[in-house]
Amino acid sequence: MAKKIVTGAGGFIGSHLTDTLLQQGHEVIGIDEFNDYYDTNLKRKNIAHLQDHPQFELIEAEIQTLDWHKLLADVDVVYHQAAQAGVRASWGQGFRMYTERNINATQVILEAAKDAKNLQRFVFASTSSVYGDAETLPTHEGICPAPVSPYGITKLAAERLCMLYHKNFGVPFVSLRYFTVYGPRQRPDMAFHKFFKAVLDNQAIPIYGDGEQTRDFTFVSDAVAANLAAANAPDAVGEIFNIGGGSRVVLSQVLQTMEEIVGQPIQRNHIGKAMGDARHTAADISKAQKLLGWQPQISLRDGLTQEWEWIQRLY
C-alpha cells in the first residue's frame, strides 16, 4: 500500500492529520525538524503517542537536507504542512527563515515530485494571509492576492511555485488556504491559546487594536477533513480552495463566548494594531463545498470548549 507523507507532522495541524491518517489504516512518514520557533516539547508531545505505532515513521530532519527522490518512490500523497508560521515574526531579522522554510523547502519537494511516478496528489497548506486586506468579503479564490505581511508573501510565492510545477510538469497539486485554524494543540503564539492560558494565569489578554476585527475561524478537525478531501476528490488537481469555518465572527464576540466557557470574566489589555494583521477575514467556501464535497462541521462554541479542555490538561 502506498504511503502518505506529512511534513510538519509534529505541528498543530500536521499532528492531527497524521493521527487521522493512521486511524484510517494508512502508512505515514512524518517529517519534522522540530525547530525552536515555539517550544519543541509541545511538538514532541503532539506525536509522543505515535512513537511505537507500527505504521508511523518519524524522520527528524530539515526538509532541504533529505533525498526526496528516494522518499517519494512509494508515496502517493504528500501533505505539505510544514512552514515557518506567524505573521508578526516575519518582519526584520526573522525574514530569512520564512524564505528558507516556506519557499526554498517547498521548491525542493516539488523538484522531486515532478519525477515521482506514484505521486497522486501534492496537497499544499496555504493561508488566508495571501489575501491581505481583501476588499470583497466573503473572499473567493478568484480575488487577486495582496498580502500585507512578509509571511503572506512567502506563502503566496510557494503556492505560485506549486502551480508552476503543476502546469509545466504535471505535479498533481492542490492548495488549501486556511482561515485561522484553532483547537487542541494550537501553537502558543496563536490568539486562543494565549487567551485561555492568560485565563489560567489570571492575567489580562492582549487585544491588538479595538477588538472589532473579524475572523473566519476553522476548527482543526475541519482543516484535516479538507486535506483528506483534497487528496481524493477527482476534480481538485490544479485548484485552490478556501478552507474556513463558514462564519465570520467579531473578536469581541469570541471573547464573550470564551467567558461563558471558562465561567469568569476575561480581563482585556488593548494594545496598538499589529503590523501585517488583516482587519477582516471571511472565506467564501462554496468552491470547496462543490468540488471537494467539504463542509465545516464544528461550531465555534464546541471548538473553543475542546481547546479549553486541552489547555487545562496542558498546563
Active-site annotation, residues: 151
Which residues have CB under 8 Å from 91's CB, separation 6+?
149, 150, 275, 276
Which residues have CB under 8 Å from 236's CB, separation 6+?
121, 174, 229, 230, 291, 292
CB 3 within 8 A of CB 76: yes
The type of residue at 224 is V
Helix (H) or strand (E) holding 253: helix 251-262
The type of residue at 119 is L
63 burial via Cβ count (<10 Å: 0-12, 13-18, 19+)? buried
> What is the Cα–Cα distance from 115 to 152, expressed in whole angstroms?
29
**Sign (positive or negative) of CA dihedral 63, 64, 67, 68:** positive
CB 196 within 8 A of CB 205: no
